[in-house]
Structure 1
Amino acid sequence: MVYKSPNIIRWNFVLAIVITIFFTSKFSFAKQSKLMGLKMNMIDRCWRPNPEWRKHRQQLVTCSIGYAGKMTNNIGKGLTHYKVTNPNDDPINPQRGTLRYGASVIQGKVWITFKKDMDIKLMKPLLISSFTTIDGRGVNVHVADNACLMISKVTNIIIHNIRIHHCKAQTPGMVMGPNGKVIHLGQVDGDAIRLVTASKIWIDHNTLYDCEDGLLDVTRGSTNVTVSNNWFREQDKVMLLGHDDGYVRDINMKVTVVYNHFGPNCNQRMPRIRHGYAHVANNLYLGWMQYAIGGSMGPSLKSESNLFIAPKVGSKEVTWRKIGHTNGDKWEFHSVRDSFENGASFAVTKGSRVQKPNYNKEQIFQVADVKSVRFLTRSSGAIQCSKTSGC
């Protein structure tokens, strides 16, 4: 007979309890994550239930939907992992460790994360190189109080989980370009994010507000853009799709606007469209002052399963169109399964077919019932992620 001391028996018993608790808690967390995932929108359900998302950040590229398609070009062979450690900014000679060094100087595939919470005041607009991902998950990052982001003549960009606000107009000057070389940049309006001749761009889970001009401009031939899970608030002009009435090249523009939260205190342009096509689906509109969706120069829009909550006073009409132009009457605005509260109404184009988005297999997604919109947009904007409770 083998004798075991009471201490050995006691430690074996404690070890058994610890192992049981560990696996039970891990199982419970996995079960909880699965249940949580069932209640999320299609994009969030793709990555947020994973308790080890930090180890698998690049999983995000498979989660995009709409015209941006899957962002798999942003990962793979040659990917540079870059961590921002310094909130300072030098627009001409960026220092290693700053956001501008990672976004403008380094070329090729770059995945940018942040070491800690930080407030970044850009001295000049940040020109972002192709195949760059700015991933603010796990920290609280503000780009604010001066210049903001410009995505110009580039492709394959992800902007994720950043707070961008109080952006100001900029005078002409020298700045590091997206090709890693110093260039002269002209006058820039005070937009949070401006796209110029850019393609395959995904703007997801950002909080944008209170800028001098607008929050998001998609201009000068930019196309294949998805704007998702963002919180737009406290702004006059929110989102502009199409440069100006005379820029006919924007007829090829295609933008998906999905799972966003507009309001409170947004006035107009959610979005305003010129020439091109937008699929606006499963968004929450918490009031407006002038209008929610507008356009000119023959734009096309499919508004699908959005929740429009009209303001208590003022305009109840969702739409606006610029009249007095040759193409003013050629607009096509269609409302499909939208919901209207507080007397909201939607002036649709009559007697013509509803244009489909015509997504390919990498872009297509199922639009949810409008009854789910409040739930699907409850996490819109930059989200807080912790090591214990996830995102």
Structure 2
Amino acid sequence: MASKHNNSILGRIVLAILIASFFTPNLTYAEKSKIMGFEMNAIDKCWRSDPEWRKNRPQLATCSVGYAGKMTNNIGEGLIHYKVIDPSDDAINPKPGTLRYGASVIQGKVWITFERDMLIQLVKPLLISSFTTIDGRGFDVQIANNACLMIFKATNIIIHSIGIHHCKSQAPGIVIGPNGKVMPLGQVDGDAIRLVSASKIWIDHNTLSNCEDGLLDVTRGSTDVTISNNWFKFQDKVMLLGHDDGYVRDQNMKVTVLYNHFGPNCNQRMPRIRHGYAHVANNFYLGWLQYAIGGSTEPSLKSEANLFVAPTSGRKEITWRKDNNQNRNGGEFHSINDIFENGASFIATKGGKVRKPNYTKEQVFIVADAKSVRSLTRASGVLRCGKTIC
């Protein structure tokens, strides 16, 4: 009895030390995470360890990896700091202080932050200009309940720490374009984020859910995209890479899908790939209904060190190919060092070499052991940031 009592006291003392350590202001986030047994991934280590991250926000642009590469074109000389103070929206004549004014009207390098927590209901899709960063860190910023985000013929864009949900399809209309000029826009599906002929795009630490069509589409020749640290949940069609089977420009598409959390209640397309190449690494898959990863029109997939947890009932197979043809339309699917739990299985392409990502020095990262995926994706989605800790 005395032994049990002593163990209980010791456990409480250890817990108290851990809590005190985590809230000690002179320790970095990395040090506190180490004490608490957490593990930050390569992207988060780059900036979350800095207690002065609010003063050094543009440091974020140096932290991206994968096909987007470093986003240093978004910072440096001429950078405009813009703060959203007004959650209202006007698709044609946006007011200064609104998100649309900063994202569409102002041209050049623009770093957008927010004055406070906001729910923004866009009246039409927001077309984001090149060299724009939307940085929601530090506040609860949600874009929801109507139109959402589109990156149309633009480049060098960061979308970070935004909650996007309940996006709805939009009828054709007039909207201010990414060049600051009014333009016609056709029918738009209800996606959270849609890329159209876009390049060098980094989408990091967002929470996306419950949209009418999909959560994230990379289409019409878009390439050099990194999708990292996001939380995708409560959605039928999650992520589409490649416009349609007949759009051959997507053969040049290159996308990195890294450190994301899929689920609960995701059905399919995590991602679905048409043409192109996807490196899907260190992601956490918490179940699926139809499938997790699918493909058609000869895409290439390297699935590396992901953790796949099959649903308790239903389909355990992770992959899907159009027409069930693994060697033609289905393309090449390779699984390298993935971990499969609860009966999950992966039908890989037989024979052939695994295509490498061939990253440049600015794009390359070390893929962690799949045993670390739960820890590496623990902070996926919008971050809850304090004054010094994010």
2:3 match: none
Whether 1:249 and 2:249 are equivalent positions in the alignment is yes
> Per-residue displacement from partner, 1:317-338 (whole Å, max 9, x unpaired)?
0000002789834611000000
Gaps of 5+ in 1: 1-24
1:77 match: 77
- Contact 1:255–1:277 (8 Å) recurs in 2: yes
**What displacement does 1:267 show?**
0.1
Whether 1:390 and 2:389 are equivalent positions in the alignment is yes
Q: Helix, strand or coil: the match of 2:55?
A: helix
**What displacement does 1:29 show?**
3.6
1:103 match: 103
| 4+ runs deviating over 6 angstroms | 324-327
**What displacement does 1:206 show?**
0.1
Specify the code of the residue in structure 1 equivalent to 2:380. Answer: S
> Per-residue displacement from partner, 1:324-361 (whole Å, max 9, x unpaired)?
78983461100000000010000000111111100000
Specify the code of the residue in structure 1 equivalent to 2:389. Answer: G
Distance 1:50 1:91 in 2: 37
Q: CA 1:47–1:147 in structure 2 vs 1: closer, same or farther (change >3 Å)?
A: same
**What displacement does 1:302 show?**
0.2
1:367 match: 367
Distance 1:27 1:88 in 2: 37
1:61 match: 61
**What displacement does 1:175 show?**
0.3
Distance 1:325 1:232 in 2: 28
Specify the code of the residue in structure 2 equivalent to 1:285. Answer: Y
Specify the code of the residue in structure 2 equivalent to 1:390. Answer: I
1:33 match: 29
**What displacement does 1:27 show?**
12
Distance 2:355 2:324 in 1: 24
Distance 1:93 1:31 in 2: 47
Distance 2:300 2:93 in 1: 43
Distance 2:207 2:283 in 1: 15
Specify the code of the residue in structure 2 equivalent to 1:351. Answer: G
2:289 match: 289
**Structure index of larger Rg:** 1
Distance 2:329 2:110 in 1: 45
> Per-residue displacement from partner, 1:201-247 (whole Å, max 9, x unpaired)?
00000000000000000000000000000000000000000000000
1:345 match: 345
**What displacement does 1:26 show?**
12
Distance 1:330 1:274 in 2: 9
Q: Helix, strand or coil: the match of 1:221?
A: coil
**What displacement does 1:78 show?**
1.0
Specify the code of the residue in structure 2 equivalent to 1:311. Answer: P
Specify the code of the residue in structure 1 equivalent to 2:170. Answer: Q
Whether 1:203 and 2:199 are equivalent positions in the alignment is no
1:3 match: none
Distance 1:37 1:312 in 2: 32
- Contact 1:37–1:49 (8 Å) recurs in 2: no
> Per-residue displacement from partner, 1:36-61 (whole Å, max 9, x unpaired)?
46620000000001111000000001
Distance 2:315 2:330 in 1: 23
- Contact 2:191–2:214 (8 Å) recurs in 1: yes
- Contact 2:271–2:293 (8 Å) recurs in 1: yes
Distance 1:63 1:79 in 2: 18
**What displacement does 1:386 show?**
1.2
**What displacement does 1:374 show?**
0.1
Distance 2:56 2:22 in 1: 18
Distance 2:90 2:44 in 1: 35
Percent of pairs with identical residues? 74
Specify the code of the residue in structure 1 equivalent to 2:88. Answer: N
2:163 match: 163
- TM alignment of 1:1-391, pairs within 5 A: 29-36=25-32, 39-323=39-323, 328-329=328-329, 331-387=331-387, 389-391=388-390
Specify the code of the residue in structure 1 equivalent to 2:258. Answer: V
Distance 1:101 1:219 in 2: 25
Specify the code of the residue in structure 2 equivalent to 1:127. Answer: L
Give the total of aligned pairs.
366
1:9 match: none
> Per-residue displacement from partner, 1:302-322 (whole Å, max 9, x unpaired)?
000000000011100000000
Q: Helix, strand or coil: the match of 1:255?
A: strand
Distance 2:163 2:27 in 1: 31
1:5 match: none
- Contact 1:36–1:49 (8 Å) recurs in 2: no
Specify the code of the residue in structure 2 equivalent to 1:204. Answer: D
Q: CA 1:249–1:325 in structure 2 vs 1: closer, same or farther (change >3 Å)?
A: farther
- Contact 2:322–2:330 (8 Å) recurs in 1: no
Q: Helix, strand or coil: the match of 2:323?
A: coil
- Contact 1:297–1:325 (8 Å) recurs in 2: no
- Contact 2:326–2:332 (8 Å) recurs in 1: no
Specify the code of the residue in structure 2 equivalent to 1:302. Answer: K
2:17 match: none
Q: Helix, strand or coil: the match of 1:52?
A: coil
Q: CA 1:338–1:102 in structure 2 vs 1: closer, same or farther (change >3 Å)?
A: same
Q: Helix, strand or coil: the match of 1:142?
A: strand
Specify the code of the residue in structure 2 equivalent to 1:253. Answer: M
- Contact 2:65–2:363 (8 Å) recurs in 1: yes
**What displacement does 1:31 show?**
3.5
Distance 1:122 1:327 in 2: 44
Gaps of 5+ in 2: 1-20
